[in-house]
Structures are given as C-alpha cells and as structure tokens.
C-alpha cells in the first residue's frame, strides 16, 4: 500500500508560514557549483613583455522542488497573500460577518486574519493542485509524485571560456605600445536530460 504525501497550505497566525505537512512534505534542494580553471604565462624578451592566459568556467545547477509535484491542498478563500502562499479570492466558501461593521473597532488586517483562521478551522478547500512531470524526453509519459518524486531533478548547465594575448612593446624610451587581443565565449544554457526548450530545426 502506498502512502500519499499531501501538503496542506494553511495560515499560521504566529509566524505567518503557510505549509503544514501530513506525513512528509519537503520543499526543495539544489547544488550550484561553479568550476573555474585558468592560467597565465608571462615572458619578457628585449623590448617585448608578452603575456597570455586562458580561463574555462563550468556552471552547473542541479535542483528539484516538491512544491507542486506532491499533491497540494490550498485552503481558501483568501483575497491577499498575507499569510497565504497561493491567495485565491474566488476559491472555497467565502466567510461573511467578520468585519468592522459586525465588530466595531476591528481592523481590516485583523478581520482578514480571523476569516482565514475560520476558513482553516472549517477545512474549507480552495483548490487542489498536483504537477505531472516528464522525466525522459525519449519516453513522453506524464508521471505523478509516486514515480517522479524525488527523481525530478533539473540538470542545468552553462559553460564559458576566454583567452587573451598581449604585448607591451617598448618601441622607444618614451613610447610603449600596448597591443593585444581577447576572445570570450558564452555557451548556450542547456538541460542535461534533454528537457530544456529549444528552437526547432
């Protein structure tokens, strides 16, 4: 028997955080190394001071999020983002009668918190969301959390390279020419599993 992990988005009046978990409900993880390899060489001969160098940069991001992969229940409605991750004023059953007309002196922000709290205590469902993922571009199957979690990793790469060569040429005691050339290459970002968008053709 499989146990479902369901995230419930609710209002916490103490710290205004929204996610309370049934069973296990982790959020996200990522690894972002940037590897840089470079070296320079200098050589002075006669009137010339030569210098050259090269640098290679390998950028990589490996990340995943379970925010939408695991089924998420948003309690609602809530007209603003105060205390809500996904506000939706038209979702769920609207709470009426908690305002400064029924309770003179009640601030609007406190009334909104009270309505959100009553919505949560009543278990009013605003929306239920779940994301389906494609894990392999050669096998286009939309998988749910039972097969894609936590294997849905984005393997993003962008590589760069550069080199230069220059010559400080002392033509005369009162004249030095600084000559040189530099080349920079910025690679196109790509997704390592072949799941990134690209132009056709």
Q: What is the pLDDT of residues 132-179, one digit of tens each?
A: 888 788 888 888 877 776 667 788 899 999 999 999 999 998 899 999
Q: Is the pLDDT assigned to residue 21 strictly greater than 80?
A: no
Reported as a pLDDT band with limits 50, 70 and 90, residue 98 is confident
pLDDT of residue 68: 66
Rounded CA gap, 154 and 30, in Å?
A: 9
Rounded CA gap, 22 and 72, in Å?
A: 11
Rounded CA gap, 73 and 19, in Å?
A: 10
The residue among 116 and 159 whose pLDDT is bigger is: 159
Largest CA distance in the chain: 93
Q: Is the pLDDT assigned to residue 102 strictly greater than 90?
A: no
User: What's the pLDDT tens digit per position in 36-89?
Assistant: 999 999 999 999 999 999 999 999 888 777 666 777 777 777 655 554 555 566
Q: Is the pLDDT assigned to residue 24 strictly greater than 50?
A: no
Domain-wise residue ranges, the chain: 1-27+72-129, 32-64+132-196
pLDDT of residue 29: 74
pLDDT of residue 201: 60
pLDDT of residue 151: 65
Q: Pick from 10, 24, 6: which is nearest to 68 by CA? A: 6
């Amino acid at each position: 028997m499989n146990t479902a992990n369901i995230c419930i988005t609710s209002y916490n009046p103490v710290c205004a955080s929204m996610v309370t978990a049934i069973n296990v409900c982790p959020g996200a993880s990522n690894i972002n190394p940037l590897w840089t390899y470079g070296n320079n060489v200098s050589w002075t001969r006669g009137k010339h001071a030569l210098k050259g160098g090269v640098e290679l940069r390998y950028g990589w991001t490996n990340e995943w999020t379970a925010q939408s992969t695991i089924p998420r229940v948003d309690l609602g409605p809530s007209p603003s983002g105060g205390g809500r991750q996904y506000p939706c004023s038209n979702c769920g059953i609207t709470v009426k009668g908690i305002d400064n007309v029924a309770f003179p002196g009640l601030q609007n922000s406190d009334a909104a918190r009270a309505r959100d709290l009553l919505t949560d205590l009543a278990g009013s469902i605003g929306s239920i969301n779940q994301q389906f993922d494609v894990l392999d571009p050669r096998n286009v199957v939309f998988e749910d959390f039972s097969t894609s979690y936590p294997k849905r990793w984005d393997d993003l790469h962008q590589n760069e390279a550069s080199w230069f060569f220059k010559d400080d040429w002392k033509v005369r005691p009162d004249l030095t020419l600084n000559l040189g050339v530099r080349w920079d290459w910025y690679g196109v970002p790509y997704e390592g599993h072949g799941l990134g968008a690209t132009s056709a053709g």
